[in-house]
Structure 1
Amino acid sequence: MLFRWRWLWLGCLGFATLAQADGEILHKRNADLAQPGTFDKGSVGHWNQKRLVDGEAFVIKRNVHGEPWAGCFSISPSDPKISDGLRAELRDLYVASPDEAIQYRFNTYVPAAPVVDGLPRLVLAQWHDRKEDGERAQRPPLSLRVIDGQLKLMVWNDEVWKQQGPNGDGLVIYSQPVGSKPMWLEQVYKVRWSANGNGRVEVWWNGHRVADYRGAIGYGDDSFGPYFKFGVYTTHVLARQVDICHSDYQRSRWN
């Protein structure tokens, strides 16, 4: 597979770092290790940058609405497509093992309702499955989306896929309206990646537990568990530029 080298400009910091989009698999490692980075002090860390169109798709900024450091992602109608969609995403290279229990923490700056009004469906964060030998992936076992003015958490598994097919909406485990004012959404996800009845997704938003899903998550024929990406992504027609910021990503084990 051919990979390109690209320059990633770090916004107001005034310098660049060179990153290579390789190393797509880092599984069977302790989830407390190989942290991709929190953007603290302007460092992009070890995030995979393959899903960025150019140096304007992602910048690290200081003091983003009270957050000391944040990574800000941008997509626009004129962007070339990546994997059938408009996307600006960074990927954590860690791939979970089946039945592994991992806690994820990160913050997302959610625009106000008038800003997202009229926009197509957006994916802000997703835990994506990975098939053997480059087979086409199915819908993300877990994702955070903006749909029709609602923030939604969606789960996919074999049964949902069987019932809805690839174009369905998935199983919504939590939904709330996008607020009238922009806000930082502090998120904690405790996930047990199990495609059978042992799966679990427990979620806290801004300190409040909003979901505790128990059941299958992911697909039984996957040899690997999911990997994490965040940024902004859509497969629909986009009429105007969209900007989303994330910060303070951390991953660890839980029991």
Structure 2
Amino acid sequence: MILIAKRSRTVLSWAALLIGALVLAVYLVVFDLVSLSNSHPVTIGFEPGEPTSQNEAALVLRKSDYALQYCCTTSTALVPGRNGWARRFTVRPGDTRIKGNFRSELRLLPNPLGGTVWYRVHIFVPNTWQASPTRVIAVQWHGSKDWFLLEPGKYPPLDLAIVGNRWEVTKSWDRRLRTTKTAVGNVEGIRMIGSAPLRRGRWLDWVLRVHWSTTGAGSVDAWLDGHHIVSDRGPNAHRDLIGPYLKLGVYVPGWGYRHTEPAIAERTLLFDDIAVDYGRNPFAMRAASTGVASGAAVPATVSSGSR
């Protein structure tokens, strides 16, 4: 009996080792497929012939530059932009919910944790934009939760949102191996790291330099129209196997988690000339700070609008 028990334990140990090796191999293959390498810049100009899809598998297989997530024919369209074409995103209270909420967005592939990435986004806010306390997320870096650990959805590691008549830059972080639903936004911390006045009726040039990390090595710098408005140091990522991915468009989580706003008929933003790049300073941004906003904790009522 003792010999049989020892053999059983040996078989189980080898089986566990083989399963672990298989899981690691599958992860490495999937990671390579779904992540952008640090030598693969991305440029999106929304010009004719640019490959796109609503099928995220086409994005993973590199058959499209980005994947669209929207419900209706009114949700997105190509329109005249800065020097050519731009893409309009619109969300209305009567829209069918996409992925559980009110959104019209595009997404890119993820960037690995531990790397430094530069992002550039041009955004046009119409003159008709109505101020409201309900957050409208224009740009977010969506976390890639570890589905095999049955993790819940989490607040984005980083987002750029319109609240009232201001822009807000907010980060979150989670260093836990497995995320649970016990924390606000299902993360360890959420902090507003910068803000700026909202300007309507003109193209705005946002540039962000992010070193993605769950430790104190993390950093976020942001420039709006060339002015350095955010300089944050500290954790800015979730402890996931796959890093965050860029999404942009119109996302109004408060409409889904609470209620829509009778006075708001729609939310529309335009985007043009999107770029993801690497290196020391690919967009030639000046390092001098001109009004860095101090970090402020985000109230729990705001943080509930996650994912």
TM-score (normalised: structure 1): 0.78
Q: Is the 8 A contact 2:101 2:252 kept in 1?
A: yes
| Structure 1 pair 28–79 and aligned structure 2 pair: CA distance change class (3 A) | closer
- Structure-to-structure mapping, 1:61-210, within 5 angstroms: 61-62=79-80, 64=81, 66-92=82-108, 94-112=109-127, 115-118=129-132, 120-133=134-147, 135-158=151-174, 165-166=184-185, 170-179=190-199, 181-210=200-229
| Residue 244 (structure 2) pairs with residue 229 (structure 1) | no
Shift of 1:125: 0.5
Aligned letter for 2:210? V
State the 1:34 CA deviation. 6.8
Report the Cα offset of residue 44 of structure 1. 5.2
Which structure has more helix as a fraction of its residues? 2
AA matched with 1:106: V
**What residue number does 2:47 align with?**
40
- SS, match of residue 108 in structure 1: strand
Tell me, yes or no, if the aligned pair for 1:130 and 1:137 is still in contact at 8 Å.
no
**CA offset at residue 120 of structure 1?**
2.6
Asked whether the equivalents of residues 44 and 60 of structure 1 are also in contact (C-alpha less than 8 Å), the reply is no
CA contact (8 A) 2:167 2:195 kept: yes
> Highest CA radius of gyration, 1 or 2?
2
Query: What are the Cα deviations for residues 71-91 of structure 1, in whole angstroms up to 9, with x where unaligned?
Result: 100111110111232100000
SS across alignment from 1:40:
coil
What is the DSSP-based 3-state SS (H/G/I as helix, E as strand, rest coil) of the residue aligned with 1:155?
strand
Structure 1 residues 122, 240: CA separation in 2 closer, same or farther (over 3 Å shift)? Answer: same
SS at match of 2:70: coil
> Per the alignment, do residues 125 and 25 of structure 1 end up closer, same or farther by CA in structure 2, a change over 3 Å counting?
farther
8 A Cα contact 1:42 1:61, kept in partner: no
2:242 alignment partner AA: F
Contact preservation (8 Å) 2:153, 2:186: no
Q: Which amino acid aligns with 2:197?
A: P
When the two chains are superposed, the root-mean-square deviation of aligned CA atoms in Å is: 2.8
The CA distance in 2 between the partners of 1:118 and 1:131, in whole Å, is: 30
Task: Provide the rounded CA distance (Å) in 2 between the counterparts of 1:167 and 1:150.
Answer: 26
Q: Does 1:250 pair with 2:271?
A: no
Post-superposition offset of 1:24: 11
The whole-number CA distance in structure 2 between the counterparts of 1:34 and 1:102 is: 10
* 2:230 is the counterpart of 1:211: yes
Gaps of 5+ in 1: 1-22
| Distance change >3 Å, CA 147–CA 164, structure 1 → 2 | farther
Residue type at the aligned position of 1:252: D
Q: What is aligned with 1:11?
A: none
Structure 2 unaligned regions, length at least 5: 1-29, 53-64, 281-307
Shift of 1:230: 0.2
Q: How far, CA to CA, are the matches of 1:44 and 1:158 in structure 2?
A: 35
In the TM superposition, what is the alpha-carbon distance from 1:32 to its structure 2 partner?
4.1
TM-score, normalised by the number of residues in structure 2:
0.66
Structure 2 Cα separation of the partners of residues 212 and 188 of structure 1: 12
Query: Aligned to 1:197, what secondary structure does the other structure show?
Result: coil
Among 55, 59, 62, the residue aligned to 2:73: 55
Equivalent residue letter for 1:38: G
Return the offset for 1:40: 2.6
Query: In the TM superposition, what is the alpha-carbon distance from 1:163 to its structure 2 partner?
Result: 11
Any conservation in 1 of the 2:131–2:163 contact (CA below 8 Å)?
no
Q: Would you say the 8 A contact 1:26–1:95 is kept in 2?
A: no
In 1, distance between residues paired with 2:214 and 2:182?
Answer: 16
